[in-house]
Amino acid sequence: MKKIICIPDSFKGTMSSSQVCDIMESTIHKHLPNCEVIKIPVADGGEGSVDAFLAAMEGIKIITTVNNPYFEPMESFYAILEGNVAVIEMAAVAGLPLVSDRLNPELTTTYGVGELILHSARSGCKKIIVGLGGSSTNDGGCGAAAAVGVHFLNDSGTRFIPTGKTLIDIKRIDLSNIDPILSDVEIITMCDIDNPMFGEKGAAFIFSPQKGADSSMVVRLDEGLRHLSNKISETCNIDVSTVAGAGAAGAMGAGMIAFFKSPLKMGIETILDIVEFDQLINNTDMIFTGEGRIDEQSLNGKVPIGVARRAKLANIPVIAIVGSIGSGYEEAYNQGITAIFSINPEPVDFSIAKSRSKENLALTMDNVMRAFLAINQS
């Protein structure tokens, strides 16, 4: 019996990873009814990550009440997977859609993220995966840190919870009151961008305008992050300012490193480790992966390349099904991609192509499977 693994990223703006997996599986079974098909939907750490993990593995969704970006109570969620592994998506409690028309990264907080981390630890989880992305915040993770017991003190020695606007008011950081339950918990942060904490490519300048910051607010937010970086250096004896990914999600990346001792890992590497991909691919005949566009940017740890690098070590062919093929894609072959197929049969505008994406994916998969069968029957 044949064994095929489907592990695509989403096709942004057209199909979720789960939808891509379902179409791939349906077409494979059309040609190989008895084939074992393993589907692993992938999310990058942002919105949908919890559901993607639950679709790929056994687990349950936990609902609990925490604080939203404006310190208001809301129902949020996280997942507990087999082995007491929690998956938290930052967007579920500090996401941009949650602020609606109240866009203001000077006032929003990641406090609820810390509450979810603490809740999952108290639920018995010994490994916690935190997915960054889609945030409404620019607080450097200070809100989340405050929720687990980190004390931020101003000039008068008064304890407060910093937001983007008040990072500049931090005089001292006290780590001595962090909830001891976290001392026995491994926390891993999924982060798929490499922006530094501050500066022209940092959190404030690159991401805060979409969160509601005007040009003067961007400058203030950047100054606050520079100040926070100095205070982290004083307290933790580490320089997070230039770490790739420290600027992710309003510099939540920096906060995860400093306050939670969490490494920043590419999302696909985290997912492959959690699903035990290296063991899962034993006796696999083919792997299907994909994304909306494959080009030179894909080489920076995107899903198809992460999958291909692992599969190459096991000498398993990897077929990438993509929306479009851009410049610089050729290096993907050296990373382990066997062949690349675009689902678009003709050059049309994206507004037209997206309406045909599911049909075109099924057609492309059908042709690939016909070729696969012809080769294997020869």
pLDDT of residue 375: 84
- Give the class (CATH, top level) of 49-267: alpha beta
Nearest to 250 by CA among 107, 37, 48, 78: 107
Domains 3-40+297-377 and 49-267 alike in fold: no
pLDDT of residue 348: 66
Better-predicted residue by pLDDT, 72 or 350: 72
144-148, 234-238, 275-279, 372-376: which has the minimum mean pLDDT? Answer: 372-376
List beta partners, residue 3: 36
For residue 324, what are the contacts with CB-CB under 8 A and spacing of at least 6? 292, 293, 294, 342, 344
Question: How far apart are the C-alpha atoms of 307 and 304, rounded to whole Å?
Answer: 5
Average pLDDT on 61-83 reads: 97
pLDDT of residue 378: 57
Average pLDDT on 341-370 reads: 86
Does residue 351 surpass a pLDDT of 90? no
Average pLDDT on 317-325 reads: 95
Q: Is 3-40+297-377 a domain of CATH 3.40.50.10350?
A: yes
pLDDT tens per residue, range 77-94: 999 999 999 999 999 999
Q: Rounded to two decimals, what is the model's pTM?
A: 0.87
For residue 273, what are the contacts with CB-CB under 8 A and spacing of at least 6? none
Does residue 231 surpass a pLDDT of 70? yes
pLDDT tens per residue, range 168-193: 999 999 999 999 999 999 999 999 88
Q: What is the mean pLDDT of the chain?
A: 93
Does residue 352 surpass a pLDDT of 90? no
Q: Residue 133: which pLDDT band, with cuts at 50, 70 and 90?
A: confident
pLDDT of residue 13: 77
Does residue 46 surpass a pLDDT of 60? yes
Task: Name the residue ranges covered by the structural domains of the chain.
Answer: 3-40+297-377, 49-267
Question: How far apart are the C-alpha atoms of 39 and 118, rounded to whole Å?
Answer: 31
Average pLDDT on 95-112 reads: 96
